[in-house]
Amino acid sequence: MEQRYVKDGSVNLEVQVKLHKLECPIELQIHKFGVTNEKFSNVILNVDGRKFYVLKELLSMHSPYFEKLFTGGFQESGKPEVTLKEVDPQDFQNFLEALHGYPVVDDCTVEGILLLNDVYDAKMISHRCKVFLMNSSKKTVVKKLQLASRYQIDGLADKTISDIKDAAEFRKLVTEGKNDFSPEILKALLDKGLSFHSS
């Protein structure tokens, strides 16, 4: 290395980095469920140390899980604060915002929301995620089929498979994701693959 770049045995570099686009934007909170929401709540949900002030009735109305938690005679039903274990606070924030009608379902949030909804089973959330994945998502075909398989999203696999345009795309899809698909999706893919051979 040239001596003009070395000073006291080390090299100092100055680098400028320009970000063109973040894959997922910085997490924002559209609705604050913190202490400022206290007067509009009747229970605190503690998620990994973060407190969410919410209404039991709203959660119970949309989710059988919360209905059982708050009205099913469980020990937690009468407590002013309930701890939810093994839940990511940002995913829970997104879940609550979606439940309150805010437009938070996007390619960055949909998987975390679906993961929670797999337990909480809020039909409105399932519908919002399904509509997003079918109409707006930029996720790959493999990822959409993995989500359809994992969370049993009716209609998503059929729509995604029908959008496969050629045999090359089909082969790539089967190679990348075959171990992550349900038997029903594998059968539909087989039918799609056969359609390329018959044309």
- Mean pLDDT, to the nearest integer, of 145-167? 93
pTM equals 0.82
What's the mean pLDDT when you consider all of the chain? 88
Distance CA 172, CA 175 (A): 5
Element at 43 (helix H, strand E)? strand 43-47
The domains located in the chain, with CATH, are 4-138 (3.30.710.10), 143-198 (no CATH)
Q: Flag whether pLDDT at 4 surpasses 70.
A: no
- Mean pLDDT, to the nearest integer, of 9-24? 62
Q: List pLDDT tens digits, range 38-77.
A: 899 999 999 999 999 999 999 999 999 999 999 988 888 8
